[in-house]
Homo-oligomer: A and B are copies of this chain.
Amino acid sequence: MNAFRYECLASDGAARLGRISTAHGEIRTPAFMPVGTVGTVKAMTPEAVRATGADIILGNTYHLMLRPGAERVARLGGLHRFMNWPGPILTDSGGFQVMSLSELRKLDETGVTFRSHLDGSRQHLTPERSVEIQRLLDATITMQLDECVAHPAPEADAERAMRLSLRWAERCRTAFSERDGYALFGIVQGSTYPSLRAESAQRLREIGFDGYAVGGLAVGEGQEAMFATLEATVPHLPRTAPRYLMGVGTPSDILGAVERGIDMFDCVLPTRSGRTGQAFTRRGPVNIRNARHAEDPRPLDEACRCPACRNHSRAYLHHLVKAKEILGSVLLTWHNLTYFQDLMDDLRGGIGAGRLATVAAGLRETWALGDIPPA
Does A207 belong to the interface (CB within 8 Å)?
Answer: no
**Which of the residues B40, B82, B84, B322 comes within 8 Å of A325, measured between beta carbons?**
B40
- Pair A316/B67 contact, Cβ less than 8 Å: no
> With A75-B295, A319-B68, A325-B42 known to touch, is A47 a contact of B307 (CB < 8 Å)?
yes
- Pair B84/A316 contact, Cβ less than 8 Å: yes
**Which of the residues B40, B45, B294 comes within 8 Å of A68, measured between beta carbons?**
B294
In the complex formed, the residue of B with least CB distance to A297 is B76
Q: Which residues A17-72 have CB closer than 8 A to chain B? A: 38-40, 42-47, 67-68, 72
Chain B residue numbers with a CB within 8 Å of A323 are 38-39, 67
In the complex formed, the residue of B with least CB distance to A310 is B84
Does A311 belong to the interface (CB within 8 Å)?
Answer: yes
- Pair A39/B295 contact, Cβ less than 8 Å: no
- Pair A46/B315 contact, Cβ less than 8 Å: no
- Cβ distance A331 to chain B, nearest Cβ, rounded Å: 8
- Pair B330/A295 contact, Cβ less than 8 Å: no
- Pair B297/A77 contact, Cβ less than 8 Å: yes
- Pair A330/B67 contact, Cβ less than 8 Å: no
- Pair B47/A311 contact, Cβ less than 8 Å: yes
- Distance A75 CA – B76 CA, assembled complex (angstroms): 51
Q: What 0/1 pattern do residues 305 to 316 of A give for CB contact below 8 A with B? A: 001000111011
Does A357 belong to the interface (CB within 8 Å)?
Answer: no
Does A83 belong to the interface (CB within 8 Å)?
Answer: yes
Does A267 belong to the interface (CB within 8 Å)?
Answer: no
Chain B residue numbers with a CB within 8 Å of A10 are none
- Cβ distance A297 to chain B, nearest Cβ, rounded Å: 6
- Cβ distance A169 to chain B, nearest Cβ, rounded Å: 31
- Distance A10 CA – B161 CA, assembled complex (angstroms): 78
- Distance A319 CA – B76 CA, assembled complex (angstroms): 12
- Distance A257 CA – B29 CA, assembled complex (angstroms): 58
Does A140 belong to the interface (CB within 8 Å)?
Answer: no
Chain B residue numbers with a CB within 8 Å of A320 are 39-40
- Distance A45 CA – B76 CA, assembled complex (angstroms): 30
Q: Which residues A159-189 have CB closer than 8 A to chain B? A: none
Does A9 belong to the interface (CB within 8 Å)?
Answer: no
- Cβ distance A31 to chain B, nearest Cβ, rounded Å: 23
In the complex formed, the residue of B with least CB distance to A334 is B45
**Which of the residues B47, B84, B295 comes within 8 Å of A72, measured between beta carbons?**
B295
- Cβ distance A281 to chain B, nearest Cβ, rounded Å: 20
In the complex formed, the residue of B with least CB distance to A68 is B319
Does A368 belong to the interface (CB within 8 Å)?
Answer: no
Chain B residue numbers with a CB within 8 Å of A75 are 295
Does A329 belong to the interface (CB within 8 Å)?
Answer: yes
- Pair A45/B84 contact, Cβ less than 8 Å: no
In the complex formed, the residue of B with least CB distance to A84 is B311
Q: Which residues of A contact B (CB under 8 A)?
A: 38-40, 42-47, 67-68, 72, 75-77, 82-84, 275, 294-295, 297, 307, 311-313, 315-316, 319-320, 322-323, 325-327, 329-331
- List 20 other contacts, CB 8 Å, given A43-B326, A68-B319: A39-B316, A39-B319, A39-B320, A40-B327, A42-B326, A44-B327, A67-B319, A67-B322, A68-B294, A72-B294, A72-B295, A72-B315, A76-B313, A76-B315, A76-B316, A77-B297, A82-B316, A84-B312, A326-B329, A330-B330
Q: List 8 A-B contacts (CB under 8 A).
A: A38-B319, A38-B325, A39-B320, A67-B319, A67-B323, A82-B315, A83-B316, A326-B329
